[in-house]
Structure 1
Amino acid sequence: MAEKMLIIIISGEKDKTKAMIGLNLANHLNDETRVILFGESEKLAASGDADVTGLIKKLQEKGVIPIACSGYAENNKIDGILKEMKLEIKPISSVIADYVKNGYTPITF
């Protein structure tokens, strides 16, 4: 398996199981793992779902801070909630490009 994994979670409430699988996988990989919440997964995280927030907290305890898309978060008025959750909020297209350029293998859920 690749040393540096980029877990991109785009699944939301309708596909919560996929989002959970991605977060769970990220929790079982090494500290080089990076997690991006994009689109509907941001809404799922902001919803306060205990399963999702629990897995995000476990990642943060390992030192893996998920990044959320600033454009989506701002447009859907959830950026404040995501910041309270201590997620990084950034323009995501350049973040993904930089990780790939630096040898991260992307996998989406």
Structure 2
Amino acid sequence: MSEKMLIIVISGEKDKTKAIMGLNLANHLNDETKVILFGESEKLVASDDKDIKELIKNLQEKGIIPIACSGYAEKNNIDGKLKELKLEIKPISTVISDYVNKGYIPLTF
């Protein structure tokens, strides 16, 4: 698949299967793939869920560093944990529009 994909994961613990599907898909796409964690998915990643941590680690090994929403992370006091996991923390509204303007195709899970 040669398209530039933007995987946006918003599902959290209640919909963990959807979050896993999004992260798993990102792991099977090319290295131009971008991953954004937004809302409840940030809490899921900050938890000690081994399945999620493994998928994040696999992405990072491919050179894909997920980006988490700074506003949500700070409001929920999980920004430190997400930084510890070596995620990028940024204001998501501009990140999403920048990637779409660069031709990335967004998929939401």
Query: Is 1:70 aligned to residue 86 of structure 2?
Result: no
1:2 CA displacement: 5.6
Query: Is 1:60 aligned to residue 55 of structure 2?
Result: no
1:86 CA displacement: 0.1
Check whether the contact 1:2–1:105 (CA below 8 A) recurs between aligned residues: no
Secondary structure in 2 aligned to 1:86? coil
Q: What percentage of residue pairs aligned between the two structures are identical?
A: 79
How do residues 1-109 of structure 1 correspond to structure 2 at under 5 angstroms?
3-109=3-109
Alignment gaps of 5+ in structure 2? none
Alignment gaps of 5+ in structure 1? none
Secondary structure in 2 aligned to 1:31? coil
Runs of 4+ that moved beyond 2 A? none
> Scaled by the length of structure 1, what TM-score is found?
0.98
Number of corresponding residues: 109
1:48 CA displacement: 1.4
**1:96, 1:2 → 2: CA distance?**
20
> Scaled by the length of structure 2, what TM-score is found?
0.98
